[in-house]
Chains A and B, each alone.
Chain A
Amino acid sequence: MATRITISKIEDVEFGANLPAFEPDTSLAIVKTFATLIGWDGARFRDHEAARKEGLAGAMVPGVLSQGYLVAMIHQWAPVAEIKTIDTVFRAPVIADEPHFITGVVTDINEDEGLVEIDLTVANEKGETRVFGTASVSLPA
């Protein structure tokens, strides 16, 4: 079984380093379950056909779930990281049942304050950005 290398100290972080690639589960079943969990009963989160009638390309992943994927990705890379802020800009809907890929890269390191800035991008199979943002995470020295 492959061992995943994780980050536990800020000294281990390098500017420009890529976080391990992350492919979120955007299946409609997961999206429906999550929508139920948070009390969002809109058809656009549950049914492709109903979403298309609303002008969408299909049922969409709620933005808060996309943010959850980003958090999961960061913790997969650095389980001890404390996420201080996560700031997202939603450019286009993330459509359920379509493969998406999340990339993350380190774009700033402040060792004095123990903070690392990460760029995050959710893209579809065509490489088109659907969601982007940044996270500021705290790591121990």
Chain B
Amino acid sequence: MILDLHTHSVKSDDGRAKVENYCQWIRSKNLPIDGLVLTEHRQYDMDSDYSKLASKFDLIILKASEVETEYGHVLVYGVSPDLTRAFDFASINLPLEMVVETSSQHGAVAVPCHPGRKRVGMFAHTEELGVPKGVRIVEIYNGGSRDNEDQIAITNAKEFGYLGIGGSDSHIVSHVGRCGTKFANKISDMNDLVEALRSEEFEAVSFKN
């Protein structure tokens, strides 16, 4: 199955998409994805319950976060209430290694996203700050990439031995599903997703062209 692992809804400050419209769009356009993960900026959305929408549209809808570190932005899958208390999700300068390690300690997985991007991507900082410890996975396909950002991500991921995921990084409805991640096994909930990421049985896919 294929999930878009990087999307934003109106819950993010720059997100303009309602989750119901994402679902309508995926189904009306027959997009080849089975669901999406909402990765709202600098927060974990504890309140929203998308189970009815998921059921109505027969889609997997999961919640995660996108936090900000000195190396750029990082997706965190498997966020628990304890993890939200372990560091300040709203901070714009978290230490990446701490985010990776703390997430792992709390049963979550941290994945630097759009790492080939200037300023907010990990590989823009590795020369100056060094290669961060603990990173296993990076996002190699991002639907919002410009120039050669995806290629920088792919080349560096290969060099450092990272696995790659894909996500559209959609902020508006019609951008969902541009990239995704293909899993060998069925993903029904966040536990399944975290387990699949840890088991390393996945592959980034791009539908951009």
Assembly CA distance A127 to B28 (angstroms): 23
Show 6 residue pairs from A and B whose CB-CB distance is below 8 angstroms, ordered by the A residue.
A16-B25, A119-B173, A121-B172, A128-B146, A129-B144, A129-B146
Chain A proximity of B126: nearest CB distance (Å) = 22
Assembly CA distance A129 to B28 (angstroms): 23
Interface assignment of A47: CB less than 8 Å from any CB of chain B = no
Give chain A's interface residue range (CB within 8 Å of chain B): 20 to 34
Assembly CA distance A19 to B180 (angstroms): 26
A107-B175 CB under 8 A given contacts A16-B29, A89-B14, A134-B16: no
Interface assignment of B208: CB less than 8 Å from any CB of chain A = yes
A15 and B208 contact, CB distance less than 8 A: no
A132 and B21 contact, CB distance less than 8 A: no
Interface assignment of B147: CB less than 8 Å from any CB of chain A = yes
A134 and B28 contact, CB distance less than 8 A: no
19 more CB-based (< 8 A) A-B contacts, given A92-B146, A108-B21, A117-B21: A16-B24, A16-B25, A16-B28, A107-B24, A107-B25, A107-B172, A107-B173, A119-B16, A120-B172, A121-B175, A127-B208, A128-B147, A129-B146, A132-B16, A132-B171, A133-B16, A133-B172, A134-B16, A134-B172
Chain A proximity of B172: nearest CB distance (Å) = 4
B→A interface (CB under 8 Å): 14, 16-18, 21, 24-25, 28-29, 144-147, 171-175, 208
Number of A-B contacts (CB under 8 A): 53
Assembly CA distance A126 to B146 (angstroms): 9
Interface assignment of A87: CB less than 8 Å from any CB of chain B = yes
The 6 A-B residue pairs with the shortest CB-CB distance in the complex, in nearest-first order:
A107-B173, A119-B174, A128-B146, A119-B172, A134-B16, A16-B28
1/0 contact string of A7-49 vs chain B (CB within 8 Å):
0000000011000000000000000000000000000000000
A15 and B28 contact, CB distance less than 8 A: yes
Counting chain B CB atoms within 10 Å of each CB, the highest count among A108, A127, A133 belongs to A108
B16 and A89 contact, CB distance less than 8 A: yes
Assembly CA distance A96 to B208 (angstroms): 25
Residues of chain A within 8 A (CB-CB) of B17 are 107
Interface assignment of A84: CB less than 8 Å from any CB of chain B = no
1/0 contact string of A68-94 vs chain B (CB within 8 Å):
000000000000000000010101100
Chain B proximity of A109: nearest CB distance (Å) = 10
Chain A proximity of B66: nearest CB distance (Å) = 15
Partner of A108, one of B18, B29, B146, B175: B18
Within 8 A of B (CB), among A108-132: 108, 117, 119-121, 126-129, 132
B175 and A132 contact, CB distance less than 8 A: yes
Chain A proximity of B40: nearest CB distance (Å) = 15
Interface assignment of A65: CB less than 8 Å from any CB of chain B = no
Partner of B174, one of A105, A126, A128: A105
Name the residue on B nearest A132 (C-beta): B172
Assembly CA distance A16 to B174 (angstroms): 9
Residues of chain A within 8 A (CB-CB) of B145 are 128
Residues of chain A within 8 A (CB-CB) of B25 are 16, 107
Assembly CA distance A72 to B175 (angstroms): 22
Assembly CA distance A107 to B172 (angstroms): 9
B172 and A15 contact, CB distance less than 8 A: no
Chain B proximity of A87: nearest CB distance (Å) = 6
Residues of chain A within 8 A (CB-CB) of B174 are 103, 105, 107, 119, 121
